[in-house]
Each structure stands twice: as C-alpha cells, then as structure tokens.
A and B are shown apart, each in its own frame.
Chain A
Amino acid sequence: DQQVKQNSPSLSVQEGRISILNCDYTNSMFDYFLWYKKYPAEGPTFLISISSIKDKNEDGRFTVFLNKSAKHLSLHIVPSQPGDSAVYFCAASGGAGGTSYGKLTFGQGTILTVHP
C-alpha cells in the first residue's frame, strides 16, 4: 500500500528552465509534507516543507505547492542548475500522537537530470 507516490521515475530538464516534480498521496491524515534531495551514497538533504494549512511555500529557487483536495503536491525549481541533478524524494507525516508520530512516509523518488 503506497501512501505516497511519485509517478515519474525520472525527469530531464535544460539548465535555466523550470523543473517540476510531482507527488500524490492517499492518506488524508497526512498534514505535513517535505521534499528531500539525495546524491548517491549520501544521506537525504532536507529542502523545503509545507503544512496542510498552506498551499504554497517558497525558499529561494524552490517552491512547493499543495493541493489538498487533489491530494497532490509539487516542487518547482527555477531556474534549474546542473548541481540540482539528484534524486528527489517527497515525504509526508501526520496523525500526530500515537504510533504514527515521528514517522515519515517516503515516495519512490524522481531522478532529476539538469543538462548544461
């Protein structure tokens, strides 16, 4: 039962253009969403997050959009740079308290390649 899904295994973008990474979730108890970036043989690096009370959060070149009714979020990177090439994971948490507390549910990841 995959509660967080990233349906695009890979994305290729030209340097300077916009990269859009998508994520869908099924569990309506999720109320906090995060994006992580991961290089091979390294730990994931936290990028940006959004709570369910917002529909947009921006940090420099990174913007996350949340559509609660569609249970969909997206990460926009503008402008894309070759150094952004990595695996991007969407993650969700929710159901504060009880056994779900502290648990992040990750999507399968999307490999982003930014060409010079």
Chain B
Amino acid sequence: DTEVTQTPKHLVMGMTNKKSLKCEQHMGHRAMYWYKQKAKKPPELMFVYSYEKLSINESVPSRFSPECPNSSLLNLHLHALQPEDSALYLCASSRLLAGSSYNEQFFGPGTRLTVL
C-alpha cells in the first residue's frame, strides 16, 4: 500500500466553524507533514511530525492545530479561519532515516478548503 489518503476531498466552512482534516498512511512511515498550497504556487510546509512528535512548526497561526494520534494518522484541526486560509491542504509521509536528508515524501490528494 503506497497511498496517502485524505478526507474530506472538499470542505466549505464559515469563519466561526470548527472542523478537522484527516490523513492516513499505511506505509510504515514515521514522518508526516502538512502543507498548504495556493493556486499557481508551490506547496508550503506547515508542520512536520517525527515519531508522532511535532518536530517542525513553520510559524503557523494557532487557528491551525495539528495532532498525530498514532503513527498512521495525522489530523489538522481548524478553528476561526479566515477567507485567506482557503487553499489546497496536502498531507505527506516519508521514511525517517537517522542522520539522512534522503526524503522522498509521498503526498495525498489534498483537501480543497474554502472559508466563507
């Protein structure tokens, strides 16, 4: 199984709503990532989890709250978002090789988020 799955595919939410994005992989990868991608731009890293612990937070606003309940699952909890947060949210996973930057990340299909 070489797939990263993400749910939902599309999400529309108001600025006062609370919602969550989910990501799952069964490749035994111990690193998982959240990216945000705006139209015609490259993916922008938000968070990295290594062995279920948050290792990188790219100064993301606190209205985005990541969670890694186990080695296969990654969530992104959303609260009080702004219209400018509308984007494609991508999850990725990779192996973790100690002391190595060999880092082939495998991406899910993304969640298209629209904030009204």
Interface residues, chain A, CB within 8 Å of chain B? 31-32, 34, 36, 41-46, 49, 51, 89, 93-97, 99-104, 106-109
CB contact list, B39-62 vs A, under 8 A: 40-43, 45, 48, 50, 55-56
The answer to whether B106 and A31 have CB atoms under 8 Å apart is no
Chain A nearest Cβ from B10, distance in angstroms: 10
Task: State A89–B43 Cα separation when bound (angstroms).
Answer: 9
Contact of A46 among B56, B99, B102, B106 (CB under 8 A): B106
Closest to A101 in B: B101
Contact of A102 among B43, B55, B90, B107 (CB under 8 A): B55
24 CB < 8 A contacts A-B: A34-B103, A34-B104, A36-B107, A42-B110, A43-B107, A43-B108, A44-B107, A45-B107, A46-B107, A89-B43, A93-B101, A94-B101, A95-B101, A96-B100, A101-B50, A102-B31, A102-B33, A102-B48, A102-B50, A102-B55, A104-B105, A107-B42, A108-B41, A109-B41
Task: Tell me which residues across on chain A come within 8 A of B108, comparing CB atoms.
Answer: 43
Q: Does B4 contact A (CB under 8 A)?
A: yes
Q: Does B94 contact A (CB under 8 A)?
A: yes
Chain A nearest Cβ from B107, distance in angstroms: 3
Contact of A99 among B4, B56, B105, B109 (CB under 8 A): B56
The answer to whether B45 and A103 have CB atoms under 8 Å apart is yes
The answer to whether B4 and A106 have CB atoms under 8 Å apart is no
Q: Does B88 contact A (CB under 8 A)?
A: yes
